Structure 1
Amino acid sequence: MTSFSPEPERLRVLAGFAHPDDETLTGGGILAWLARGAEVHVVTANRGERGEVIPGDIAHLEGDGPALAEVRVAELAGALDALGVAGHTFLDALPGVAGRRRERYTDSGMQWDGDSRIRAIPDPAAGRDALTTQDSEVAARLLAAHIRRLRPHLVLSDEPGGGYGHPDHIRMHELMRHSLELAAEEQLQPIADDDPCVGLDPWRVPVAAWVVRPESSARAAAAWLATTPSRPRLTSLGRALTVADPDAEMATIVRPDAQVDLVVDTAGVADRVAAAMRAHRSQVQDAQLLAEIEGESADGHSERGGALGWFALSNEVLQPFSAHVGLTVAPGWGSTTALRGALAAAEPLEGNGEASPVMAPGEHDEEVPAWYAVLMRAFTAVLGVVMAAATTAFHRWESPFGLVLALLAIVASGTLSRSFADRLGVIVHAVAVAATVIALAYVRPGGDVVVTDEAIGTIWLLGAVLMTAVPGLLPARWFRDGR
């Protein structure tokens, strides 16, 4: 995999989303956070012509695609300015392959899957201009050429499920993944005389990631919102607001913590994201930060799952305004280390000594006290002694099955130690195992009868010590502390 090495120039970021407001509702926190120290660019697939409209004064625009598109384009400009985005383009405004695509990509629309409000399915009424009905290869070439021109160091997009299944979100994710491959292809064959990739040098993006939400914080934030007495019960338009069940099925953007590579605390740019939400007045309502409410404290947001306030969409379901943005590295496009390096390159050099807001999944849950770390390392030592003694006595059972099981048990106890403690805990466990096995073999004259001078005894002595190193080699993202 390609690792990230910051160049002398400023970090460049490219984010691709389907509609106006997706850059804010899905990526607003991370885009505003990155924009403090990076050059952020956004591509929007279409103009959201088939979106629902909230405010009464423009409700007549719903169903009038061109008129609504004009409003949403203006809203998008305001949101991008609030987020600090440096450059923006619509997918159909990118040059090339003019003869093989229609004049414009339009909103494909969606339907809800039965009674669900977290699973969308395609709308059969999608028109011929819709993003999902047009040639995807042409669209991917347009995007690939943009990547070759811009040469971003980091690319962001929706996760494969499109956030909640919207067909345009899924298509934009697919286009972004395919365009990454096309942009990196050394011998790319043109599909037309005006193929936009022709004449542009290939560019392999160092790291690409999906914007997600860690499940632990998403459920904690939903639980807080459902029980907080200060949340609104009516919209500013007088419509009843409901809240989601924190224990119910969640949208696809919410991922188990084990599938989230990094979490970024974006509380420091919450005001920018709130301003961007309010810019999208046709789609978002009642965006409110606790810090803006007299008598309400925004402190301790990690205890609320990162919740800083709330907002609602056209369905009148109140949602938490969260500071916790998750990122999952796209398979084949970098690593957690590369992603962490890119984020570090985007952080402004303020020299204030504050802790980094970039975390491994689960770090946002609570701070681990020092006494706990010491206690857990002591536990790994005891576990190593007990496991080494038991497996030493067991390893000669039904050879070679006893030996294999004994070695696997050492790996398992080391992994358990890594789960409870940290890498230092794995070292403590390894020392305890090695010392116990050697002591049982050599502490008494003539050696212990449990470990013989036969081949199986030698294999056990060496194998037990070697197996203690395996847990320390496992990927850090498999474990809660991410170290």
Structure 2
Amino acid sequence: MTIGTSRRPDRAARTARPEREHVVLVHAHPDDESIVTGGTIAKLVRDGVPVTVLTCTRGERGDVIPEELRHLEGDLRALADHRETELADAMAALGVTDHRFLGDPDARWRGLDARRYVDSGMEWGDDGVPVALRPLDPDSLCAGDEADEARDVLAVIADVDATSVVTYDDHGGYGHPDHKRTHVIATWAAEEAGIPAYLITTTESSAGRAHELVAARGRFPAPDPRPAGMLVLPDDAVDVAVDVAEALDAKTRAIASHRTQVVVDGDQFALSHGIGEPIAAVELFRLHRPVGAAPDDGTPRPPR
């Protein structure tokens, strides 16, 4: 994925656009794709670049904001079904025609029966950092076998002949256990396929700017400029900065499609915790390193 411009001229040569692109974006739950990569998705589609959005779970354990839909909370199947419709609306807003759920027949490693990965759930720790629910649902993403899940991602990469993958950093963005697992399996699959993976990035400037914008508006409580559990990096860590100003309308409509999860007010939004965030007009990414190298933590890699 090389659209947009690098913040660093010395990286421009490494990010020249290939003759053919197909980007696979791997996300944990419905709404993640729109909130953190919606502008990039819409811009890619408008530029004629094929895009596949791969969602690992249906967000069965998410909170529900609207009072009239609150009855869905705790009913895993009913909420999953509803969030599927929200996700379909978001995909339409972004122009995506290839969306898949991990484990479905079109996103499952050859020879394995189709399966449904369930939202693992989370709760907030005393330090403000998310922790996994215990005991884990045996059907949840975090209870699954990492190698099998990585193979499922690899199956999609191979099916579309992807040229790059986009997913979370190793902190999983704000730290949701499913986001962390998604990072692991998506980067494993990209390494196995020999293609680059780009990690969604928060920088000191972007976090500070988000705080300032929300505080100035006063509609929502402002986010912490140093949010607990998030990996906030120096500005020069960014490899690709995608200007999505022309796609903001599509991004905003996609975010608003997720009514159970998000309240949108103009150019800002809040999740169920009520903390505001601006709808970012620039989306930041850094290259996952090393590409093509085995993990250094001793964890077995998925076989070829």
Shorter-chain TM-score bucket reads: 0.7 to 0.9
Aligned mate of 1:153, from 149, 152, 163: 163
Q: Distance in 1 between matches of 2:42 and 2:232?
A: 20
**1:5 & 1:209 partners in 2: Cα distance?**
14
Are residues 1:266 and 2:244 paired? Answer: yes
Provide Cα deviations, 1:335-377, integer angstroms capped at 9, x if missing partner: xxxxxxxxxxxxxxxxxxxxxxxxxxxxxxxxxxxxxxxxxxx
Matched, 1:95 2:108: yes
Match of 1:331 among 289, 295, 298: 289
Q: Distance in 2 between matches of 1:5 and 1:82?
A: 25
Distance 2:247 2:109 in 1: 37
The higher radius of gyration belongs to 1
2:199–2:287 CA contact under 8 A, matched in 1: yes
Tell me the residue number matched to 1:316: 274
> What TM-score, normalized by structure 1, do the two folds share?
0.54
3-state SS in 2 of match to 1:263:
strand
Instruction: Return the letter of the residue paired with 2:236.
Output: A
The alpha carbon displacement at 1:95 in A equals: 3.5
- Counterpart position of 1:243: 222
Structure 1 residue aligned with 2:262, among 281, 284, 306?
284
Alpha-carbon distance in 2 for matches of 1:26, 1:105: 22
Deviations 1:241-280 (A, max 9, x none): 422344x445525422122222222111110011001100
Task: Give the whole-Å Cα distance in 1 for the aligned partners of 2:211 and 2:142.
Answer: 32
Note the alpha carbon deviations across 1:423-464, whole angstroms, 9 max, x for none: xxxxxxxxxxxxxxxxxxxxxxxxxxxxxxxxxxxxxxxxxx
Please say if residues 217 and 324 of structure 1, whose CA atoms lie closer than 8 Å, have aligned partners that are also in contact: no
Corresponding residue for residue 63 of structure 1: 74
Question: How far off its partner does 1:86 sit?
Answer: 2.9
Identity of aligned residues (%): 37
Residue 453 of structure 1 corresponds to none
* Residues 55 and 282, structure 1, Cα contact 8 Å, conserved in 2: yes
Deviation at 1:221, TM superposition (A): 2.9
Could you tell me which residue of structure 1 aligns to residue 176 of structure 2? 166
Question: Once the 2 structures are TM-superposed, how far is the Cα of residue 176 of structure 1 from its aligned partner?
Answer: 0.7
Separation in structure 2 between the aligned mates of residue 84 and residue 254 of structure 1, nearest angstrom? 30
Residue 141 and residue 249 in structure 1: after superposition, are their counterparts in 2 closer, same or farther (change >3 A)?
closer
* SS of the residue 2:126 aligns to: coil
- For residue 165 of structure 1, give the secondary structure of its aligned residue in structure 2: coil
User: In the alignment, which of 135, 140, 144 is matched to residue 134 of structure 1?
Assistant: 144
Change (3 A) 1:219 1:5: closer
Q: What is the identity, as a one-letter code, of the residue corresponding to 1:217?
A: S
**Aligned partners of 1:213 and 1:254 also within 8 Å:** yes
> Which of 52, 58, 64 does residue 53 from structure 1 map onto?
64
Alignment of 1:225 onto 2:238: no
Q: 1:127 to 1:84 in 2, by over 3 A?
A: same
Q: Residue 122 of structure 2 is aligned with which of 96, 101, 110?
A: 110
CA contact (8 A) 2:138 2:144 kept: yes
What residue number does 1:74 align with? 85
**Is the 8 Å Cα contact of residues 243 and 318 (structure 1) preserved in structure 2?**
yes
Amino acid at match of 1:242: P
* Distance of 1:144 and 1:311 partners within structure 2: 33
Q: Say whether the 8 Å CA contact 2:64–2:70 is kept in structure 1.
A: yes
Equivalent-residue separation in structure 2 for 1:121 and 1:46 (angstroms): 17
Does the aligned pair in 2 maintain the 1:47–1:73 contact within 8 Å? yes
**Cα deviation digits, residues 56-93 of structure 1 (max 9, x gap):** 11101100000000000110011011112231110010
Aligned residues: 277
Contact 1:102–1:129 (CA<8 Å) still a contact in 2? no
- What amino acid does structure 2 have at the position aligned with 1:67? A
> 4+ residue stretches of structure 1 with deviation over 3 A?
2-5, 95-99, 248-251
AA paired with 1:272?
A
**Shift of residue 318 of structure 1?**
1.7
User: Match of 2:23, SS?
Assistant: strand
Call closer, same or farther: CA 1:3–1:223 in 2, change over 3 Å.
closer
Match of 1:16 in 2: 26
CA offsets 1:260-313 (integer angstroms, 9 cap, x no match): 22222211111001100110000011341xxxxxxxxxxxxxxxxxxxx21111
Distance 1:261 1:250 in 2: 24
Provide the secondary structure at the position in 1 that maps to 2:273.
coil
Which is helix-richer, 1 or 2? Answer: 1
Q: Which stretches in structure 1 are left out of the alignment for 5+ residues?
A: 184-203, 233-240, 289-308, 335-483
1:158 is displaced (CA, Å) by 0.7
> Structure 1 residues 287 and 249 mapped into 2: Cα distance closer, same or farther (>3 Å)?
same
CA distance in 1, matches of 2:114, 2:24: 24
Q: Greater CA deviation, 169-178 or 81-90?
A: 81-90
Aligned residues of 2:164 and 2:190 also touching (Cα < 8 A)? no
Alignment RMSD: 2.2
Change (3 A) 1:87 1:287: farther
| Distance in 1 between residues matched to 2:36 and 2:18, nearest whole Å | 26
In structure 1, how many angstroms separate the alpha carbons of the residues matched to 2:291 and 2:265? 35
Q: Does residue 223 of structure 2 align to residue 210 of structure 1?
A: no
Distance 1:97 1:123, change over 3 A: farther
Aligned in 2, Cα 1:110/1:287: closer, same or farther, shift over 3 Å? Answer: same
Kept in 2, the 8 Å contact 1:261–1:327? The answer is yes
